[in-house]
Amino acid sequence: MIRILLADDENLIRDAVASLLALEDDLEVVALAASGPEAVATALKHAPDVAVLDLQMPGLDGVEVAERLATELPGCGVVIVTSHGRPGYLKRALEAGARGFLPKTVSSRVLADVVRQVHDGGRYVDPELAAEAIAAGESPLTPREADVLELAADGAPVEEIATRAHLAPGTVRNYLSSAAAKLGAANRHEAVHVARRHGWI
Protein backbone atom coordinates (compact mmCIF):
# COMPACT_ATOMS: atom_id res chain seq x y z
CA MET A 1 0.00 0.00 0.00
CA ILE A 2 1.38 3.43 -1.00
CA ARG A 3 0.75 5.95 1.78
CA ILE A 4 -0.05 9.48 0.58
CA LEU A 5 -0.08 12.95 2.11
CA LEU A 6 -2.35 15.33 0.19
CA ALA A 7 -1.87 19.09 0.67
CA ASP A 8 -4.09 21.73 -0.94
CA ASP A 9 -5.54 24.89 0.59
CA GLU A 10 -8.82 24.46 -1.31
CA ASN A 11 -10.98 22.12 0.78
CA LEU A 12 -13.23 20.96 -2.03
CA ILE A 13 -10.34 20.02 -4.32
CA ARG A 14 -8.38 18.35 -1.50
CA ASP A 15 -11.35 16.26 -0.39
CA ALA A 16 -12.34 15.34 -3.95
CA VAL A 17 -8.81 14.22 -4.87
CA ALA A 18 -8.54 12.25 -1.61
CA SER A 19 -11.82 10.46 -2.39
CA LEU A 20 -10.70 9.64 -5.94
CA LEU A 21 -7.30 8.30 -4.84
CA ALA A 22 -8.99 6.22 -2.13
CA LEU A 23 -10.76 4.28 -4.89
CA GLU A 24 -7.40 2.80 -5.96
CA ASP A 25 -6.63 -0.56 -4.33
CA ASP A 26 -2.94 0.19 -3.74
CA LEU A 27 -3.20 3.83 -2.58
CA GLU A 28 -4.11 5.15 0.86
CA VAL A 29 -4.42 8.83 1.79
CA VAL A 30 -3.06 8.85 5.35
CA ALA A 31 -2.98 12.62 5.95
CA LEU A 32 -4.40 15.91 4.67
CA ALA A 33 -3.00 19.43 5.00
CA ALA A 34 -4.33 22.89 4.09
CA SER A 35 -1.10 24.92 4.19
CA GLY A 36 2.63 24.58 3.58
CA PRO A 37 3.67 24.51 7.26
CA GLU A 38 0.89 22.02 8.02
CA ALA A 39 2.08 19.83 5.13
CA VAL A 40 5.62 19.72 6.58
CA ALA A 41 4.41 18.97 10.13
CA THR A 42 1.95 16.33 8.93
CA ALA A 43 4.55 14.68 6.71
CA LEU A 44 7.03 14.44 9.60
CA LYS A 45 4.29 12.95 11.80
CA HIS A 46 2.94 10.36 9.32
CA ALA A 47 6.04 9.71 7.14
CA PRO A 48 4.08 9.14 3.90
CA ASP A 49 5.62 7.42 0.89
CA VAL A 50 4.50 10.20 -1.45
CA ALA A 51 3.41 13.80 -0.81
CA VAL A 52 1.05 15.33 -3.38
CA LEU A 53 1.39 19.10 -2.95
CA ASP A 54 -0.46 22.05 -4.44
CA LEU A 55 2.07 24.55 -5.80
CA GLN A 56 0.43 27.61 -4.25
CA MET A 57 -0.41 27.30 -0.55
CA PRO A 58 -0.31 29.72 2.37
CA GLY A 59 2.78 29.82 4.57
CA LEU A 60 5.07 27.81 2.31
CA ASP A 61 4.45 27.01 -1.33
CA GLY A 62 4.73 23.47 -2.70
CA VAL A 63 8.34 24.03 -3.83
CA GLU A 64 9.37 25.22 -0.37
CA VAL A 65 7.66 22.20 1.20
CA ALA A 66 9.49 19.94 -1.28
CA GLU A 67 12.82 21.50 -0.23
CA ARG A 68 12.04 20.87 3.45
CA LEU A 69 10.97 17.27 2.83
CA ALA A 70 14.08 16.56 0.75
CA THR A 71 16.12 17.39 3.86
CA GLU A 72 13.89 16.19 6.67
CA LEU A 73 12.10 13.23 5.06
CA PRO A 74 14.24 12.15 2.09
CA GLY A 75 12.35 8.88 1.63
CA CYS A 76 9.17 10.73 0.71
CA GLY A 77 8.62 11.28 -3.01
CA VAL A 78 7.06 14.63 -3.96
CA VAL A 79 4.51 15.30 -6.68
CA ILE A 80 3.49 18.93 -7.29
CA VAL A 81 0.16 19.72 -8.91
CA THR A 82 -0.69 23.20 -10.09
CA SER A 83 -3.10 25.37 -12.00
CA HIS A 84 -0.10 27.63 -12.72
CA GLY A 85 2.09 25.45 -14.93
CA ARG A 86 4.66 28.09 -15.81
CA PRO A 87 8.18 27.11 -16.89
CA GLY A 88 9.97 28.82 -14.00
CA TYR A 89 7.85 26.94 -11.47
CA LEU A 90 8.71 23.62 -13.09
CA LYS A 91 12.42 24.37 -12.93
CA ARG A 92 12.20 25.43 -9.27
CA ALA A 93 10.20 22.32 -8.38
CA LEU A 94 12.71 19.94 -9.98
CA GLU A 95 15.63 21.76 -8.34
CA ALA A 96 13.85 21.39 -4.98
CA GLY A 97 13.68 17.62 -5.40
CA ALA A 98 10.12 17.13 -6.68
CA ARG A 99 9.89 14.05 -8.90
CA GLY A 100 6.47 14.76 -10.36
CA PHE A 101 4.99 17.97 -11.78
CA LEU A 102 1.60 18.09 -13.44
CA PRO A 103 -1.35 20.42 -14.03
CA LYS A 104 -4.60 20.11 -12.11
CA THR A 105 -6.32 19.39 -15.42
CA VAL A 106 -5.08 15.76 -15.41
CA SER A 107 -7.45 12.91 -14.59
CA SER A 108 -7.36 11.10 -11.24
CA ARG A 109 -6.11 8.03 -13.11
CA VAL A 110 -3.05 9.94 -14.39
CA LEU A 111 -2.39 11.30 -10.90
CA ALA A 112 -2.61 7.79 -9.42
CA ASP A 113 -0.18 6.49 -12.05
CA VAL A 114 2.26 9.35 -11.36
CA VAL A 115 2.11 8.61 -7.61
CA ARG A 116 3.02 4.97 -8.36
CA GLN A 117 5.81 6.02 -10.72
CA VAL A 118 7.34 8.41 -8.16
CA HIS A 119 6.97 5.80 -5.40
CA ASP A 120 8.94 3.38 -7.58
CA GLY A 121 11.76 5.92 -7.93
CA GLY A 122 10.71 7.33 -11.29
CA ARG A 123 9.91 10.84 -12.47
CA TYR A 124 7.02 12.37 -14.34
CA VAL A 125 6.75 15.84 -15.87
CA ASP A 126 3.69 16.76 -17.90
CA PRO A 127 4.93 16.73 -21.54
CA GLU A 128 3.24 20.02 -22.46
CA LEU A 129 4.73 21.82 -19.45
CA ALA A 130 8.15 20.35 -20.23
CA ALA A 131 7.96 21.61 -23.81
CA GLU A 132 6.96 25.10 -22.63
CA ALA A 133 9.86 25.15 -20.15
CA ILE A 134 12.35 24.26 -22.86
CA ALA A 135 10.91 26.91 -25.19
CA ALA A 136 10.99 29.62 -22.49
CA GLY A 137 14.62 29.02 -21.61
CA GLU A 138 16.44 30.27 -18.53
CA SER A 139 15.39 33.38 -16.64
CA PRO A 140 17.58 36.35 -17.64
CA LEU A 141 17.13 37.86 -14.16
CA THR A 142 19.66 37.59 -11.37
CA PRO A 143 18.22 36.26 -8.07
CA ARG A 144 18.37 39.78 -6.57
CA GLU A 145 16.58 41.32 -9.59
CA ALA A 146 13.88 38.67 -9.31
CA ASP A 147 13.47 39.34 -5.57
CA VAL A 148 13.15 43.10 -6.06
CA LEU A 149 10.75 42.67 -8.99
CA GLU A 150 8.58 40.37 -6.89
CA LEU A 151 8.48 42.97 -4.11
CA ALA A 152 7.38 45.52 -6.73
CA ALA A 153 4.54 43.30 -7.97
CA ASP A 154 1.89 44.81 -5.70
CA GLY A 155 2.78 48.37 -6.77
CA ALA A 156 4.78 49.24 -3.63
CA PRO A 157 6.82 52.47 -3.83
CA VAL A 158 10.60 52.23 -4.23
CA GLU A 159 11.22 53.35 -0.62
CA GLU A 160 9.04 50.54 0.75
CA ILE A 161 10.72 47.94 -1.49
CA ALA A 162 14.10 49.25 -0.33
CA THR A 163 13.12 48.83 3.33
CA ARG A 164 11.77 45.31 2.78
CA ALA A 165 14.78 44.24 0.71
CA HIS A 166 17.31 45.97 3.02
CA LEU A 167 18.68 47.98 0.09
CA ALA A 168 19.18 51.64 -0.74
CA PRO A 169 16.39 53.18 -2.88
CA GLY A 170 18.90 53.91 -5.66
CA THR A 171 19.95 50.26 -5.72
CA VAL A 172 16.29 49.20 -5.97
CA ARG A 173 15.79 51.57 -8.92
CA ASN A 174 18.86 50.09 -10.62
CA TYR A 175 17.60 46.52 -10.14
CA LEU A 176 14.14 47.42 -11.44
CA SER A 177 15.44 49.21 -14.53
CA SER A 178 17.91 46.38 -15.21
CA ALA A 179 15.12 43.78 -14.91
CA ALA A 180 12.83 45.79 -17.21
CA ALA A 181 15.60 46.13 -19.80
CA LYS A 182 16.41 42.41 -19.73
CA LEU A 183 12.73 41.53 -20.15
CA GLY A 184 12.16 44.09 -22.91
CA ALA A 185 9.55 45.82 -20.76
CA ALA A 186 8.66 49.53 -20.86
CA ASN A 187 8.36 49.78 -17.05
CA ARG A 188 8.45 47.71 -13.87
CA HIS A 189 4.72 46.85 -14.05
CA GLU A 190 5.16 45.36 -17.51
CA ALA A 191 8.35 43.62 -16.30
CA VAL A 192 6.39 42.00 -13.45
CA HIS A 193 3.79 40.80 -15.96
CA VAL A 194 6.43 39.28 -18.30
CA ALA A 195 8.33 37.62 -15.44
CA ARG A 196 5.14 36.18 -13.93
CA ARG A 197 3.96 34.86 -17.29
CA HIS A 198 7.17 32.83 -17.55
CA GLY A 199 7.15 31.79 -13.89
CA TRP A 200 10.45 33.61 -13.22
CA ILE A 201 9.00 35.32 -10.13
For residue 83, what pLDDT is reported? 83
Average pLDDT of the residues of the chain: 92
CA 67 to chain centre: 10
pLDDT band at 26 (very low <50, low <70, confident <90, very high): very high
What residues contact residue 156 under an 8 Å CB cut-off, 6+ apart?
164
For residue 13, what pLDDT is reported? 92
Mean pLDDT throughout 90-94?
Answer: 86
pLDDT band at 19 (very low <50, low <70, confident <90, very high): very high
For residue 25, give the amino acid letter: D
Sheet strand arrangement including 100-103 = 27-33, 2-7, 50-54, 77-82, 100-103, 124-125
DSSP string covering 68-99: HHHHH-TTSEEEEEES---HHHHHHHHHTT-S
Q: Distance between CA atoms of 95 and 55, rounded to whole angstroms?
A: 14
Task: Tell me the CA distances in angstroms from 96 to 34, 49, 79, one per residue in order.
Answer: 20, 17, 11
C-alpha count within 13 angstroms, C-beta hemisphere, residue 145: 19
For residue 23, what pLDDT is reported? 94
Say whether pLDDT at 92 is over 90.
Answer: no
Per residue in 142-194, pLDDT tens? 888 988 998 998 889 999 999 988 899 999 999 999 999 999 999 999 999 88
Say whether pLDDT at 94 is over 80.
Answer: yes
Query: Over the Cα atoms of the chain, what is R_g?
Result: 18
Closest CA to 153 of 196, 121, 199, 109: 196
Mean pLDDT throughout 103-110?
Answer: 92
Mean pLDDT throughout 104-110?
Answer: 92
Q: Is the dihedral of CA 41, 122, 2, 17 positive or negative?
A: positive
For residue 131, what pLDDT is reported? 82
Q: Is the dihedral of CA 125, 23, 67, 62 positive or negative?
A: positive
Buried residues in 174-185 as b, exposed as e (16+ CB within 10 A): ebbebbbebbeb
What is the pTM assigned to this prediction?
0.74
Task: Tell me the CA distances in angstroms from 122 to 11, 113, 114, 194, one per residue in order.
Answer: 29, 11, 9, 33
Share of the chain above pLDDT 70, in %: 100
Which letter does DSSP use for residue 25 in this model? T
